[in-house]
Chain A
Amino acid sequence: MQASRARLFKEYKEVQREKMADPDIQLVCDDSNIFKWTALIKGPSETPYEGGIFQLAFAVPEQYPLQPPQVRFLTKIFHPNVHFKTGEICLDILKNAWSPAWTLQSVCRAIIALMAHPEPDSPLNCDSGNLLRSGDIRGYQSMARMYTRLAAMPKKG
Chain B
Amino acid sequence: MDENDLNSDDEIAIDDDCYYDFFIKGDDPMDSEDAKSREGSGQKYTILNQADIRKRQEDVIAAISTVLSVSGATATILLRHFNWSVGKVHEAWFADEDVVRKRVGLLNYEKQLSDVNAGDRATCGICFDVYPRYRIFSVGCGHPFCRECWGGYISSAINDGPGCLTLRCPDVSCSAAADRDIIDMLALSDDDKKKYSQYLLRSYVEESKQIKWCPGPDCEYAVEFDAGGGGDDSWDVSCRCSYSFCWNCLEDSHRPVDCQTVSSWLSKNTDESETKIWILARTKPCPRCQKSIEKNGGCMHMTCNPPCRYEFCWICLGDWYNHETCNRYNEAADVEADKNREDAEKHVTKYTHYFDRWAANHSSRQKAIAEMQRVQSVQIRKLIETQGKAEYELLFITDAWEQIIGCRQVLKWTYAYGYYLPENEHTKRRLFEFLQGEAETGLERLHECAELELNQFLVDYGSPLEGFKEFEVKLKGLTMVTRKYFEKLVRALENGLSEVQVSGTEEIGQNFPMASAEG
Contact = CB atoms under 8 A, between A and B. Distances in A.
Contacts of B125: 101
Contacts of A11: 128
B152 interface: yes
A66 B128 contact: no
A101 B156 contact: no
Interface string A101-134: 1100010000000000000000000000000000
A43 interface: no
Contact of B152 (A3, A6, A93, A101): A3
A66 B172 contact: no
A86 interface: no
A10 B128 CA distance: 7
Given A100-B149, A102-B172, A106-B172, A6 B127 contact: yes
B171 interface: yes
Interface string B118-162: 000000011111000000000000010000110011001000000
A100 B128 CA distance: 11
B170 interface: yes
A65 interface: yes
Nearest to B125: A101
Interface in B152-183: 152-153, 156, 170-172
Interface in A1-39: 3, 6-7, 10-11, 14
Most chain B beta-carbon neighbours within 10 Å: one of A7, A101, A102, A106: A101
A1 to B, nearest CB: 12
Nearest to A9: B128
A93 B172 CA distance: 9
A101 B128 contact: no
A63 interface: yes
A99 B156 contact: no
Interface in A74-117: 93, 99-102, 106
A66 B145 CA distance: 13
Contact of A7 (B126, B153, B170, B172): B126
A67 interface: yes
Contacts of A3: 127, 148, 152
Interface string B380-407: 0000000000000000000000000000
Given A63-B156, A66-B156, A101 B127 contact: no
Contacts of A63: 156
A100 to B, nearest CB: 5
A99 B171 contact: yes
B128 A7 contact: yes
In this complex, which of A3, A14, A66 has the most chain B Cβ atoms within 10 angstroms of its Cβ?
A66
B55 to A, nearest CB: 34
From A3, A65, A93, residue with most partner B Cβ within 10 Å? A65
Given A101-B171, A102-B172, A106-B172, A66 B153 contact: yes
Given A66-B152, A66-B156, A7 B171 contact: no
A147 to B, nearest CB: 30
B128 A99 contact: no
A98 to B, nearest CB: 9
Contact of A99 (B127, B148, B152, B172): B172
B283 to A, nearest CB: 50
Nearest to A66: B156
A97 to B, nearest CB: 9
Contacts of B149: 100
A67 B156 CA distance: 8
B172 to A, nearest CB: 5
A106 B173 CA distance: 12
Contacts of B127: 3, 6-7, 10
Contacts of B156: 63, 66-67
A66 B167 CA distance: 14
Nearest to B157: A66
Contacts of A106: 172
Contacts of A65: 126
Contacts of A67: 156
Nearest to B148: A3
Nearest to A96: B163
Contacts of B170: 99-101
B464 to A, nearest CB: 72
A3 B128 CA distance: 11
B150 to A, nearest CB: 10
Most buried by B among A14, A67, A100: A100
A148 B128 CA distance: 37
B173 to A, nearest CB: 9
Nearest to B156: A66
Nearest to B155: A66
Contacts of B129: 6, 10
Contacts of A6: 127, 129
A67 B126 CA distance: 12
Interface string B255-286: 00000000000000000000000000000000
A6 B148 CA distance: 13
A101 B143 CA distance: 10
Nearest to A7: B127
A65 B153 CA distance: 9
A14 B172 CA distance: 19
Interface string B90-134: 000000000000000000000000000000000001111100000
A3 B151 CA distance: 13
Nearest to A3: B127
Nearest to B152: A66
B152 to A, nearest CB: 5
A106 to B, nearest CB: 7
A7 B152 CA distance: 13
Given A6-B129, A7-B127, A93-B172, 10 more contacts: A3-B148, A63-B156, A65-B126, A66-B152, A67-B156, A99-B170, A99-B172, A100-B170, A101-B143, A101-B172
9 contacts: A3-B148, A6-B127, A6-B129, A65-B126, A100-B126, A100-B149, A100-B152, A100-B153, A101-B171
Interface of B: 125-129, 143, 148-149, 152-153, 156, 170-172
4 pairs of A and B residues whose beta carbons are closest in the complex: A66-B156, A10-B128, A100-B126, A101-B170
